[in-house]
Amino acid sequence: MKKRNINYNYIAVFCTVIFVLTFAIVGYYIGDWNSKKTVTTMAQVEDKNELGKGISKESKKTPNSTTTTKSIGEQRDAKESNSQYDSNESTATYQDDQNNTVSFLAVGDDLVHIEVYKSGIKKNKVLNYDHLFSKLKNDISKADISVINQETIFGDRSVGYSGYPNFCSPIEIGEAIKKAGFDVVLQATNHTLDKGTKAIDYTLSFWRKQKCITLLGVNQDQNERNTIRIVEKKGIKFALLNYTFSLNGHILPSNQSYRIDMLDEDQMKADITKAKKLADVVIVFPHWGTEYSYHPDEKQKYYTKFFAKEGVDVVIGSHPHVLQPVEWVNGPKNHKMLVYYSLGNYVSYQREAPRMLGGMANMEFIKKNDKVEIKNASITPIVTHYEKANNYNFSVYKLSDYTENLAKVHGVLRLEKESYFSLGEMKKLAKNILGEWYKEK
């Protein structure tokens, strides 16, 4: 047999050509896949940026807490056809609990008595109130959404700063609130009209300049009154509503009823109905109840049933100036509503021991399969501290961080007439009011 001569140069060239063509084809399809993937991601980001009118803060860490997990009710199903939220984006963007869990914090009444005002007067009459928040700033700033009830209205020196009964506080209080890390401010209280509509305008003007703050409860015009405030965080949209039961006898001009959100059943029903179509979670902050009572009164109980029936998810109350219980309330269709009846005072110069005890509400919201659940709901008791000397030395502590030495120099000891302040009494009162919700550390 005749032996053939094999030209290995031709084989090498042939193999090289095949290799290059294969590499080019694979590269083409990989590039096309990456291109599509990038377009999808950008579309998701653009779609997310169009969600709602809420204000988002920079991402914060989620604090640890304990208690029950409850599911937001089926009433949200009705809104899905009207929602701007894209569930496909949720699946693609938020893939683990850390990235789709929103931590939420709220505190009670920032009640600026004249002594609280004086505590912020520094050299050359400069005002600064950072000390009111310094002990809790870490908790406030870490929460994804932090809320405070600003009990008093703002004004300038020409109006005159004042305490009880008709309050007027400096805007430096608001600046300290912003620096502490709060995202939402409640302004509908029984003291909102203490200095007339001029002070409301002044307050609105200040808060509008704080781009990281969502203001609730007061409005510039009817259009603003009709707007539901939405705060969006990590793909979860929160509709936030704030109402007050009273204006302490002050009367709004007949043509300006839109100025302050009142605890009016028909209006609240309309607001909640609208809110459920716009958001995943509806939270109501009512200014309600009987001052200095540790238990919800009949009107609080009535409105609690009303809110549960309307499908509200969380209620966080203010005004009584003392702590009140926390509980889950059953609504229609197995809906569970979380209620903090009163968080008491955040800070004040009130003169009885129980009014020194407040609460910090904590909870987490997690979105799974287009449904939002509340988990790790809890309450942290806090203590307002002030003294006679050192410009009152105002501060607010967690009850678990408060000490016997601080309690011994508390200024309320020389003022109280119906109570007795001590660390032990504060712990006992917290336990009596909160029951199983009180966790002593």
When pLDDT is averaged across residues 251-259 and rounded to a whole number, the result is 97
Q: Are 67 and 109 in contact (CB under 8 A)?
A: no
Q: How confident is the model at residue 99 (pLDDT cuts 50, 70, 90)?
A: confident
Is 337 strand, coil or helix?
Answer: strand
- pLDDT of 369 over the 50 cut: yes
pLDDT in tens, 328-347: 999 999 999 999 999 999 99
Give the total residue count for the chain.
441
User: Among candidates 399, 392, 429, 382, which has minimal Cα distance to 414?
Assistant: 392
- Domain locations in the chain as residue ranges: 94-437
pLDDT in tens, 189-202: 999 999 999 999 99
Within 8 A by CB and 6+ apart from 342, the residues are 108, 289, 296, 317, 318, 319, 320, 322, 323, 324
The per-residue pLDDT for 124 is 87
Q: How confident is the model at residue 267 (pLDDT cuts 50, 70, 90)?
A: very high
Q: Which amino acid is at 376?
A: N
Q: How far apart are CA 399 and CA 295, in angstroms?
A: 21
User: Among candidates 310, 292, 360, 303, which has minimal Cα distance to 139?
Assistant: 360
Tell me the pLDDT of the chain averaged across its residues: 85
Phi and psi (nearest 5°) for 250?
Answer: -70, 145
Please report where in the chains the tokens 């499908």 appear, as a residue. Answer: 311
Q: How confident is the model at residue 425 (pLDDT cuts 50, 70, 90)?
A: very high
pLDDT in tens, 112-167: 999 999 999 998 889 999 999 999 999 999 999 999 999 999 999 888 999 999 99
The per-residue pLDDT for 36 is 32
When pLDDT is averaged across residues 354-362 and rounded to a whole number, the result is 98
pLDDT in tens, 430-439: 999 999 999 9
Q: How far apart are CA 89 and CA 81, in angstroms?
A: 16
Percentage of the chain exceeding pLDDT 90: 74
| DSSP code per residue over 111-129 | ---HHHHHTTB-GGG-B--
When pLDDT is averaged across residues 237-252 and rounded to a whole number, the result is 98
Q: How confident is the model at residue 14 (pLDDT cuts 50, 70, 90)?
A: low
- Which CATH superfamily groups domain 94-437? Metallo-dependent phosphatases (3.60.21.10)
Q: How far apart are CA 411 and CA 409, in angstroms?
A: 6
Q: How confident is the model at residue 440 (pLDDT cuts 50, 70, 90)?
A: confident
Buried b (16+ CB within 10 A) or exposed e, 343-371: bbbbbbbbbbbbbbbbbbbbbbbbbeeee
pLDDT in tens, 32-67: 433 333 322 323 323 333 323 333 344 444 333 444
Peptide bond into 63 cis (omega under 30): no
The per-residue pLDDT for 363 is 98
